[in-house]
């Protein structure tokens, strides 16, 4: 089908709107001027400054730790939820798992804050509460990715495993898990990026003692948007981009609009 | 003692009775077939034998042991699924080794058995391939090898030939029979294809609406169907409403306006009983109306249509009462495709011992 020029122009505008600000940030992270106004010359100084900033390093460590833990927990729980949704077709589980994805973040943040304070007291907020909060909104992502993968597969493969002598656990370990592994890995990577980028929910559940990268950036730009922030943003962008690319490699069907063709149909005539 | 006994098994799904008081037994070494239209309960029955489903009533007994509390992995029963259900992430070799690994056999033992299984289905050169690299027929053979490799007491086959094209299906049928004979494992085969069932089985249970209509050897099913459903489902058959006029050493039937015929006697049939007379097309002789026949049952009709299928031609004859009769004539004379033209007057006839009167 021929695409009309109007369609091309509007698509170009949308992409420009999305990506030009990101490109500007990247460019200015290499700018020798302290102001984000004009290009003065190329420098890597801001990256050097960044890596000597103690506050920043602590925040980065916190963020990486939280993202790793939250991704791990969300992947385990989300995979279990995805399999349960597929196998038992429960009526309410999908809603319960997916609602946090659609709910306004601020609502989730406030309700988690109230929950933690009322359940564990005034000083409850810590790394742990952030991890729990991040896990809750990542579970849904993992669950839908895993379920999508399962629903594209021939159900009798799982029965065949049992039929040929595998216990339920062996059948999971040797057949189900290898087949859903791409979805599990993609879910884990998605969770990691969602967690490391999250601001709103972290803001409500982290308290004072747990600065994360997004929180630190926010405090920094309250004073001024320094090139240092640009450098940090550029690095986070790179990490996120890298994880998305990896996710698209391990689970290409999640990023393609083409329907997943089952092995059986593809070559039955061969 | 029978290897497998299905004792009065019933399975309901909500209001729908999928399997209705089925009672049958399968002998060791037998090629047993469950035949019926889709929805007749044959696959549900198979799934209960495999252990994926449980009967609501009745028992499934293997080697004298009730399988009620035995999960699928503990049953010495393997299944060849309609979709083959090969593990897509394992090679042919790994697929076949799977049941042996689950049975914790030694590496050496597994290597030898997999090798034998591969040569049995002539796939030695495909051992390291993945299922998606194989053709339909090859996948089928891998599924068979995998199901048979650790010699189950029973192999269940759920329409395994359904996905193959006609030529390949015929070839696989021959391979199946040979494999079953060589290995001696008992097969329970599920199909909706009567031709497949007749060609493969030692005994066939014809199922309809969850019940077994008739359980018999193929030639008995075809030659002496017990009721209309079986007569109609197995092969082609001519059916005509009939009433019994006299019953003795033979039956005299009144075929509506057509007149009287003589049919084989049948126990429990009384004068006045209404039912159908069934006769296979190949039992009906057909000749030009001008030629005489010595058969006791004969009618004159007109050729309405014919179906040339190469080896035989099926003629459809309009009888005087408006009924249609199919008659089969082999095209044994070379170059001869048909003996009659549309509209030709013909004489159809059959012997007194041909056909059957059925009341149900």
**What residue spans define the domains of chain B?**
4-231, 236-358
Q: How far is A160 from chain B (nearest CA, A)?
A: 6
Of B52, B132, B134, the CB nearest to A159: B52
Find where tokens 């149909």 sit: A265
Name the phi and psi angles at B352, rounded to 5. Answer: -65, -30
Of B72, B88, B135, the CB nearest to A163: B72
Query: For residue A106, what is the enclosing H or E element?
Result: helix A105-120
User: Could you tell me whether strands B77-80 and B238-247 are parallel, antiparallel, or unpaired per DSSP bridges?
Assistant: unpaired
- Please give the pLDDT value at position B157: 94
DSSP 3-state of B127: coil
How far apart are the C-alpha atoms of B5 and B207, rounded to whole Å? 17
Tell me: the pLDDT tens digits for A76-104? 999 999 999 988 888 887 787 778 778 88
How far apart are the C-alpha atoms of A143 and A131, rounded to whole Å? 18
How far apart are the C-alpha atoms of B221 and A124, rounded to whole Å? 78
Residues of A in contact with B82 (CB under 8 A): 156
Q: Spell out where chain B has E strands.
A: 4-13, 16-26, 31-35, 57-62, 65-66, 77-80, 154-158, 186-191, 203-208, 211-216, 238-247, 250-254, 260-264, 274-279, 285-288, 297-308, 312-318, 324-330, 345-350, 356-358
Of A156, A165, A270, the CB nearest to B99: A165
Q: How far is B266 from chain A (nearest CA, A)?
A: 46
Q: Residue B277: which of B250, B302, B244 has the closest Cα?
A: B244
Q: Spell out where B130-208 has E strands.
A: 154-158, 186-191, 203-208
Q: Does A152 touch chain B (CB under 8 A)?
A: no
Residues of A in contact with B81 (CB under 8 A): 156, 159-160
**What residue spans define the domains of chain A?**
53-256
Find the radius of gyration of the CA atoms of chain A.
22
Residues of B in contact with A167 (CB under 8 A): 73
Torsion of CA A213, A216, A221, A227, to 10 degrees: -50
CB contact under 8 A, B131 and A263: yes
Q: How confident is the model at residue A258 (pLDDT cuts 50, 70, 90)?
A: very low
Q: How confident is the model at residue B333 (pLDDT cuts 50, 70, 90)?
A: low
Of B73, B89, B134, the CB nearest to A165: B73
Structure-block tokens of residue B73: 């992995």
Residues of B in contact with A157 (CB under 8 A): 85-88
Kindly report which listed range (B132-141, B186-195, B327-336) carries the lowest average pLDDT score: B327-336
* CATH homologous superfamily, domain A53-256: MetI-like (1.10.3720.10)
Answer whether residue A153 shows pLDDT above 60. yes
Q: Does A169 touch chain B (CB under 8 A)?
A: no
Structure-block tokens of residue B96: 């076949």
Residues 176-235 of A with CB under 8 A from B: 178-179
Find the radius of gyration of the CA atoms of chain B.
25
How far apart are the C-alpha atoms of A238 and A235, rounded to whole Å? 5
Of A161, A165, A268, the CB nearest to B163: A268
How far apart are the C-alpha atoms of B119 and B127, rounded to whole Å? 10
CB contact under 8 A, A270 and B73: no
How far apart are the C-alpha atoms of A67 and B310, rounded to whole Å? 72
Residues of A in contact with B151 (CB under 8 A): none
CB contact under 8 A, A162 and B73: yes
The sign of the dihedral angle between the CA atoms of B101, B103, B104, B106 is negative
With b for 16 or more beta-carbon neighbours within 10 A and e for fewer, the B285-314 pattern comes to bbbeeeeeeebebbbebbbeebeeeeeebb
- Please give the pLDDT value at position B10: 95
Residues of B in contact with A179 (CB under 8 A): 88-89
Tell me: the pLDDT tens digits for B55-90? 999 999 999 999 999 999 999 999 999 999 999 999
- Please give the pLDDT value at position A254: 63
How far apart are the C-alpha atoms of A251 and B333, rounded to whole Å? 63
Report, as an integer, the average pLDDT of B27-52. Answer: 93
Q: How far apart are the first and last CA of chain A?
A: 31
The CATH architecture that domain B4-231 belongs to is: 3-Layer(aba) Sandwich (3.40)
Q: How confident is the model at residue B34 (pLDDT cuts 50, 70, 90)?
A: very high
Report, as an integer, the average pLDDT of A153-158. Answer: 90
Asked if B46 and B40 touch (Cβ cutoff 8 Å), the reply is no
* Contacts for B359 with CB less than 8 Å, ≥ 6 apart: B269, B273, B274, B275
Residues of A in contact with B67 (CB under 8 A): none
For residue A76, give the DSSP letter: H
Kindly report which listed range (A167-171, B22-26, B252-256) carries the lowest average pLDDT score: B252-256
CB contact under 8 A, B135 and A270: yes
CB contact under 8 A, B102 and A164: yes
CB contact under 8 A, A162 and B72: yes
Residues of A in contact with B78 (CB under 8 A): 163-164
Minimal-distance CA residue of chain B relative to A165: B73
Asked if B302 and B318 touch (Cβ cutoff 8 Å), the reply is yes
Count CA within 13 A, CB hemisphere, residue B160: 31
What is chain A's mean pLDDT, rounded? 85
Of B102, B146, B163, the CB nearest to A170: B102
Structure-block tokens of residue B115: 């090798």
Residues of A in contact with B72 (CB under 8 A): 159, 162-163
Question: How many of the other CB atoms lie within 10 Å of CB of A166?
Answer: 22
- Please give the pLDDT value at position B118: 93
Asked if B207 and B35 touch (Cβ cutoff 8 Å), the reply is yes
Q: Does A265 touch chain B (CB under 8 A)?
A: no
Q: What is the pTM of this model?
A: 0.80
CB contact under 8 A, A161 and B87: yes
How far apart are the C-alpha atoms of B206 and B232, rounded to whole Å? 11
To probe the interface with A, which of B102, B150, B155 has the most A CB atoms within 10 Å?
B102
Name the phi and psi angles at B66, rounded to 5. Answer: -70, 130
Q: How far is A251 from chain B (nearest CA, A)?
A: 15
Asked if A109 and A176 touch (Cβ cutoff 8 Å), the reply is no
Question: How many of the other CB atoms lie within 10 Å of CB of B110?
Answer: 21
- Please give the pLDDT value at position A77: 95
Answer whether residue A255 shows pLDDT above 70. no
Tell me: the pLDDT tens digits for A12-44? 999 999 999 889 888 888 888 777 677 888 888
Fold of B236-358: OB fold (Dihydrolipoamide Acetyltransferase, E2P) (2.40.50)
Report, as an integer, the average pLDDT of B222-240. Answer: 90
């Amino acid at each position: 089908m021929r695409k009309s020029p109007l369609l091309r122009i509007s698509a170009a505008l949308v992409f420009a709107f999305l990506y030009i600000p990101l490109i500007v940030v990247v460019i200015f992270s290499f700018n020798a001027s302290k102001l984000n106004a004009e290009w003065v010359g190329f420098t890597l100084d801001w990256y050097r400054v960044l890596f000597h900033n103690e506050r920043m390093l602590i925040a980065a460590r916190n963020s990486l730790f939280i993202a790793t833990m939250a991704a791990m927990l969300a992947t385990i729980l989300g995979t279990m939820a995805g399999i349960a949704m597929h196998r038992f077709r429960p009526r309410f589980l999908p809603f319960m798992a997916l609602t946090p994805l659609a709910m306004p973040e601020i609502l989730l943040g406030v309700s988690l804050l109230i929950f933690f304070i009322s359940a564990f007291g005034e000083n409850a907020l810590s790394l742990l509460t952030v991890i729990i909060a991040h896990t809750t909104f990542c579970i849904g992502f993992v669950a839908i990715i895993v379920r999508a993968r399962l629903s594209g597969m021939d159900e009798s493969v799982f029965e065949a495993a049992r039929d040929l002598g595998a216990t339920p656990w062996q059948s999971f370990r040797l057949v189900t898990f290898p087949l859903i592994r791409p979805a599990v890995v993609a879910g884990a990577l998605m969770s990691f990026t969602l967690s490391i980028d999250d601001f709103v929910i972290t803001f409500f559940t982290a308290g004072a003692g747990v600065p994360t990268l997004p929180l630190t950036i926010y405090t920094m730009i309250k004073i001024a948007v320094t090139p240092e922030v640009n450098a940090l943003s550029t690095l986070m962008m790179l990490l996120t981009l890298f994880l998305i690319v990896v996710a698209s490699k391990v689970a290409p069907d999640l990023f393609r609009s083409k329907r997943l063709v089952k092995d059986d149909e593809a070559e039955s005539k061969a | 003692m029978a290897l497998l006994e299905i004792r009065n098994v019933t399975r309901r799904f909500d209001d729908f009775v999928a399997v209705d008081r089925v009672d049958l037994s399968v002998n060791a070494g037998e090629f047993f077939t469950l035949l019926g239209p889709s929805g007749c309960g044959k696959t549900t029955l198979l799934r209960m034998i495999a252990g994926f489903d449980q009967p609501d009533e009745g028992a499934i007994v293997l080697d004298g042991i009730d399988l009620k509390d035995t999960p699928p992995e503990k049953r010495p029963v393997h299944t060849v699924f309609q979709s083959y259900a090969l593990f897509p992430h394992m090679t042919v070799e790994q697929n076949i080794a799977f049941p042996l690994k689950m049975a914790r056999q030694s590496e050496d033992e597994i290597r030898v058995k997999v090798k034998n299984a591969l040569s049995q289905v002539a796939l030695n050169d495909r051992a390291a391939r993945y299922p998606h690299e194989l053709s339909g027929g090859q996948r089928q053979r891998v599924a068979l090898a995998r199901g048979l490799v650790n010699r189950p007491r029973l192999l269940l086959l759920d329409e395994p030939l359904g996905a193959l094209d006609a030529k390949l299906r015929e070839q696989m049928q021959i391979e199946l029979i040979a494999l079953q004979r060589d290995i001696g494992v008992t097969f329970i085969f599920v199909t909706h294809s009567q031709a497949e069932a007749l060609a493969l089985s030692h005994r066939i249970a014809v199922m309809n609406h969850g019940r077994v209509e008739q359980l018999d050897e193929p030639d008995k099913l075809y030659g002496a169907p017990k009721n209309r459903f079986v007569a109609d489902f197995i092969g082609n058959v001519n059916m005509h409403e009939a009433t019994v006029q006299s019953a003795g050493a033979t039956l005299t039937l009144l075929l509506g306006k057509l007149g009287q015929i003589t049919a084989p006697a049948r126990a429990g049939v009384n004068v006045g009983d209404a039912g159908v007379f069934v006769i296979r097309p190949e039992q009906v002789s057909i000749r030009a109306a001008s030629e005489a026949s010595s058969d006791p049952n004969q009618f004159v009709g007109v050729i309405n249509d014919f179906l040339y299928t190469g080896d035989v031609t099926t003629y459809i004859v309009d009888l005087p009462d408006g009924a249609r009769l199919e008659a089969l004539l082999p095209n044994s004379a070379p170059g001869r495709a048909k003996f009659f033209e549309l509209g030709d007057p013909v004489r159809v006839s059959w012997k007194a011992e041909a056909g059957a009167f059925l009341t149900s």
